[in-house]
Amino acid sequence: MPRLYELLSPNQQLQLAIRSKPPHLLAETFAAYVGQFYDRCEFDRLARQVSDLYDANSAERAHHFRARLDQRLHDRYRDPVVWNVTTTRSSEAA
């Protein structure tokens, strides 16, 4: 028998996560699993998606999530999340 969360779409799972966990706890969870992602770009995309979901309800909670996640990644000797994709891509083209 499938677990309840397995019946939800990935977007619904994220929406449930931001409703049930404060930003600092979800950021710590994300940081703990950064090494599980083969493609770091996919990790950053997922982090941006969660940040956007937090931002829909509160810009302050989104900021807290981003700051805490980047701090936890730094503590694990990882690069911070690429939050602004358009700036990054335009600077790569230069």
Q: What's the average model confidence in pLDDT over 37-65?
A: 95
Quick one: 47 exposed, middle or buried, by C-beta within 10 A (0-12, 13-18, 19+)? buried
4 confidence band (pLDDT: 50, 70, 90) = confident
- CB 73 within 8 Å of CB 34: yes
- Which residue, 34, 22, 30, 20, is CA-closest to 60? 22
pLDDT above 60: residue 92:
no
Predicted local confidence at residue 20, as pLDDT? 93
Question: What average pLDDT does the structure give for the chain?
Answer: 89
Measured between alpha carbons, how far is residue 70 from residues 37, 44, 63 in Å? 16, 11, 11
pLDDT above 70: residue 90:
no
- CB 55 within 8 Å of CB 62: yes
